Amino acid sequence: MRKLLALMLVFGLVAIAADPLMAQEASGDSFQILKEKFIQGGWEFMILILICLIIGLALCIERIITLNIASVNTEKLLTKIDEHLKNGDVSGAMEVCKSTPGPTASVLYEGLRNAGNGADAVEKAIVSYGSVQMGLLEKGLVWISLIIALAPMLGFCGTVIGMINAFDKIEAVGDISPTIVAGGIKVALLTTVFGLIVAMIMQVLYNYIVAKIDGITNKMEEASVALVDMMVSNNSFKN
Query: Tens of pLDDT along 86-125?
Result: 888 888 888 888 888 888 888 888 888 887 777 788 888 8
Q: What is the pTM of this model?
A: 0.73
pLDDT at position 58 over 90 = yes
What Å distances lie between residue 156 and 29, 161, 183, CA to CA? Answer: 27, 9, 17
**Using an 8 Å Cβ cutoff, are 154 and 45 in contact?**
yes
Contact status, residue 126 vs residue 187, Cβ threshold 8 Å: no
Name the least confident of 135-149, 180-194, 209-223: 180-194
The one-letter amino acid at 124? K
Q: What percent of the chain has pLDDT over 70?
A: 72
Which pLDDT belongs to residue 29?
Answer: 64
- What is the mean pLDDT of the segment spanning 161-173? 72
Rounded CA-CA distance 176/167 in Å is 9
